[in-house]
Amino acid sequence: MARVGLPVFTHPACLAHDTGPGHAERPQRLGAVVEALREALPTLDWREAPRATRGQLLRVHASSLLAAVLETRPDARMQLDPDTVLSPASAEAALRCAGAGVAAVDCVMGGEAQAAFCAVRPPGHHATGEHAMGFCLFNTVAVATAHALDRHGLARVSIVDFDVHHGNGTQAIFDAEPRVQYLSSHQMPLYPDTGSPQERGVGNVFNVALGPGTGSRRFREAWQDTLLPAIDAFAPQLLLVSAGFDAHWRDPLAQLQLEADDFAWLTHELVALADVHALGRVVSLLEGGYDLQALRECSVAHVGALRA
C-alpha cells in the first residue's frame, strides 16, 4: 500500500487532448490509469496540475515550438507529424502536463512528500527542444528537470526512462549538461531508432538496448548490472522517472515481454537509491503504454512501490 498522502498530479484537460479515432495515444489510457489508482490505492492525495509558465517551458524549448503548440489554435485536429496530433484542446493539456511535473518537483523539494506521480497525457520524452514528435508536444520530464536545476539549485539530477521507446528528446536536451544524468532501457530496433550504447553525451548518458522478445531476466540484469550502479555512482539529489509501461508483454506497439512485477521491482530499487542519495525524492511522470489492462496493472504496481 502506498504511503498515505502520496501526491498524484493530474487534470481533466489531459483527457480532452483529442488524437482521433484509432490513435494509440487515446484519452482512455489516462482514464484507465486514474481509475485503477483510485480503486487500488485509495489514500493517494489527488491534486490539480497547474499550467506551466512560458518561462518554465522556455528553459528547454524553443519559442517556435511554444508558438506551434500554444498559438496555432486549430478548429479541428491537425497533424504535426504522422504520429503527433494537435487538437483544439491540446494546448491546455500540454500546459497542464508540464505544470504537473513542475508542481511535483516543488512538492518533493519543499518536503511535502518524498515522492509524487504525474498522471498526465500526452507523453513527453520524444519532444526535442525544437520539435513535437512521437505523440509528444512538450517534454514534460525535461521541463521538470530544468525547473529542479534552476529553481532549486540542484547540482545532480538523474532521469530514469524505462519506456520501451528511447527518450530521444530528453537525451538530446541534456546530452551536454553534466548536472543531468539520463539512463534508459528500451527496445531496439524500434521507434525512434536512437539510444545506442555508444551515445554517451558528456559521460552523462547511459543506454541499454534490448532486443525484441526480451523478458524480465534480461531487463532486470540491465538495470542491476549497468544502470542502477551508474545512478549510485552519480549520487543524484533528485530522481525523475519517465514511466512508460509499453514494455509490458500486452503492449501492441512493441515486443518486450515484461510483467507488472518488473516495474514494481525497478521502482523499489530506485526508491532505495533515492533514500540513500536524494532524501527519498522521486518524481515520476506517465509516458507511454497502449494496452489498457497493462496500464492498469503497471501503474498500480509502480505507484504502490513509490512509497510502499
Does residue 303 contact residue 41 with C-beta atoms inside 8 Å? Answer: yes
Does residue 232 contact residue 76 with C-beta atoms inside 8 Å? Answer: no
Does residue 108 contact residue 114 with C-beta atoms inside 8 Å? Answer: yes
* Cα 299 from chain centroid (whole Å): 12
For range 235-264, the mean pLDDT = 98
Every domain of the chain and the residues it spans = 7-306
Which residues 6+ apart lie within 8 Å of 40 measured at CB?
A: 300, 304
- pLDDT tens digit string along 183-205? 999 999 999 999 999 999 999 99
Per-residue pLDDT band for 144 (boundaries 50, 70, 90) equals very high
Backbone φ/ψ region at 276: left (φ over 0), alpha (ψ -120 to 50), beta: alpha
Inter-CA distances, 152 with 90, 118, 243, 307, Å? 29, 19, 23, 23
For range 40-65, the mean pLDDT = 98
**How many CB atoms within 10 Å of residue 191?**
17
Which residues 6+ apart lie within 8 Å of 283 measured at CB?
A: 101, 104, 105, 108, 115, 116, 117, 118, 144, 238, 239, 240, 241
Does residue 123 contact residue 25 with C-beta atoms inside 8 Å? Answer: yes
pLDDT score for 3? 43
Best CA proximity match to 183, nearest among 149, 234, 144, 137? 234
Please give the share of the chain, as a percent, with pLDDT higher than 70. 98
- pLDDT tens digit string along 210-242? 999 999 999 999 999 999 999 999 999 999 999
Mean pLDDT taken over the chain: 97
For the cut 60, the answer to whether the pLDDT of residue 4 exceeds it is no
pLDDT score for 1? 36
Grid cell of 284 as nine digits: 515520476
Q: Determine the Cα–Cα distance for residues 202 and 225; give it in Å rounded to an integer.
A: 21
- Could you tell me the fold of the domain covering 7-306? Arginase; Chain A (3.40.800)
pLDDT score for 2? 41
For the cut 50, the answer to whether the pLDDT of residue 109 exceeds it is yes
Does residue 173 contact residue 149 with C-beta atoms inside 8 Å? Answer: no
The reply to whether 126 belongs to the active site is yes
- 3-state helix, strand, coil split of the chain in percent (to 5) is 40, 15, 45
Q: Determine the Cα–Cα distance for residues 242 and 285; give it in Å rounded to an integer.
A: 5
Marked catalytic residue, from 11, 17, 125, 126: 126
- pLDDT tens digit string along 271-301? 999 999 999 999 999 999 999 999 999 999 9
